Amino acid sequence: MISCYMLGDKFFTEPKKYQNFDEIIEELNKNREAIYSYPSGAIVEIINKYSKILSSDRKFLNYEGVPFLALWLKKSNIIKLLCLDLNKQEYLDDFIQIEDNKFMKAQPMGVVCHFMAGNVPTLPIYYLIQALLCKNINICRVPLESIRIVSELLKPLLDIKVNYNSMEYNGITLLKSISIINFSRDNIELNTEMSKVADVRVICGGEKAVNSLSTLHKKTTCKDIIFGPKYSFAVFEKSAMESLNLSKTFDDFAKDIISFDQKACSSPQVLFIEKSNVTLKEAALKLSKSLERVLKRYPETEINQGTSANIINKRGEYLLSPEKDIICSRDLQYTILIDKDIALEEPIQHRTIFLKEVEDIFEVCKLVTPRVQTIGIASEDNNKIINFANKVSLNGVDRLVRVGFMNLYDSPWDGMLFINQIVKWTVLNLN
């Protein structure tokens, strides 16, 4: 049974139940021509107004990740995103001449089916907004633990109205192109039915979920966009370690550790520090002070029993080993695990970071595979970092960003331009 929490601009506290996707698709199709008639400029204005609502209401800002989401939704960023992904925003509205008598347009793919993971509750909003910019209709399967936040974040669109080129356009038209649903991720029958109606499948999740969903029956014309399991870490180059700004750098890195409880693919699990006049133990003490400082701005989070046990066991292992060291809070609020093994450790999460020293940051290049998504960088030597980026990106990493920005969604993401993936490029040749 499909539990529907939003459809046709209606939000349901008690979900409506559907046996299959027929009625959901029928309702979404009623709005297909309406959203297609909206100029992309009008949609951008609606989204910009939406960003102002999110950024001015404390209720929304209290949700983790919403302050950055509100900035990401600003008009200037959306236009920059469209230009990066499509080259010209105008491709969304009309055939644009690219050669003599040759024109091209970015048409919507149709039905975008989002199979969302639950590690970052705000993530569905990013993908839905981009799909709406391209005038697609959307079915979004959201984990139960994220349903309330996703629904609350979408509701402001109900009352948004903008004037664009002397015409009025409504946020409600965007909402009518979305359905928020839930059913068991293990329900093969419903996952298959959802897969069959998709023109694009956006699949986010761990290895088991990705492997299971990607093999489901689908249209031969369906496009898959897969955001599978990824791993992220950080490197502090010698110039950063010996900089007067080191305390601020550690504060920025502490934010990367704390955000999303290290559950995001872009969350750092290991920090490699290049050898400098700051010892590894001194670096760990500086990081602990930063974590204590930054944690004061964040509410305490509950830790499930499994994670608590993992942290306690790992603390015991490092306390008992003469080759290892540890700095941690009295409770389980943060843990810094210090050793000399140049390796990518299995994530523990909940503010648990592995700290290691290397003679040269290039030593970590051998650890990079296509599974590595983000490397956080701290350095004042741009030439060295460019050389480092060339080396590790050849091995597989998708993003290298300054620490403090590891969890901020941008484009490209996971090595792809998402908006470019959810349009169909159509050519008109009049020769």
Sequence-ordered alpha helix ranges (H) in 114-182: 123-133, 144-154, 171-175
Mean pLDDT of 365-380: 97
Q: What is the phi-psi region of residue 148: left when phi exceeds 0, alpha when psi lies from -120 to 50, beta otherwise? A: alpha
Asked whether the predicted pLDDT for residue 30 surpasses 90, the reply is yes
**pLDDT on residue 302:** 79
Give residue 2's pLDDT.
97
Q: What is the pLDDT of residue 119?
A: 85
Kindly state the average pLDDT of the residues 183-204.
96
**pLDDT higher at 22 or 119:** 22
The C-alpha atoms of residue 155 and residue 178 are separated, in whole angstroms, by: 12
Q: State the pLDDT at residue 357.
A: 97
**What are the structural domains, with CATH classification, of the chain?**
2-228+414-429 (3.40.605.10), 231-402 (3.40.309.10)
Q: Is 261 left (phi over 0), alpha (psi -120 to 50) or beta?
A: left
Is the pLDDT at 300 greater than 80, yes or no?
no
Residues 392, 344, 355, CA angle at the centre, nearest 5°? 105
223 pLDDT higher than 90: yes
How confident is the model over 399-406, as a mean pLDDT? 97
pLDDT recorded at residue 42: 98
On average, the pLDDT of the chain sits at 95
Mention every residue, 6+ apart, whose C-beta is less than 8 A from residue 315.
Answer: 326, 328, 335, 337
Least confident segment among 216-225, 228-237, 299-308: 299-308
Please state the pTM of the whole predicted model. 0.93
% of the chain with per-residue pLDDT over 70: 100
For the cut 90, the answer to whether the pLDDT of residue 21 exceeds it is yes
Q: For residue 38, is it left (φ>0), alpha (ψ between -120 and 50) or beta?
A: beta
Give me the pLDDT at residue 304, please.
86
Whether 297 shows a pLDDT value over 90: the answer reads no
pLDDT at 299: 73
Residue 431: band (very low, low, confident or very high) from pLDDT cuts 50, 70, 90: confident
120-175 per-position pLDDT tens digit? 899 999 999 999 999 999 999 999 999 999 999 999 999 999 999 999 999 999 99
| The pLDDT value given to residue 303 | 86
Query: Is the confidence at residue 222, as pLDDT, over 90?
Result: yes
Is residue 217 over pLDDT 80?
Answer: yes
Rg of the chain on CA atoms, in Å: 23
Nearest alpha carbon to residue 14 among 25, 5, 22: 5
Q: What pLDDT does 235 receive?
A: 98
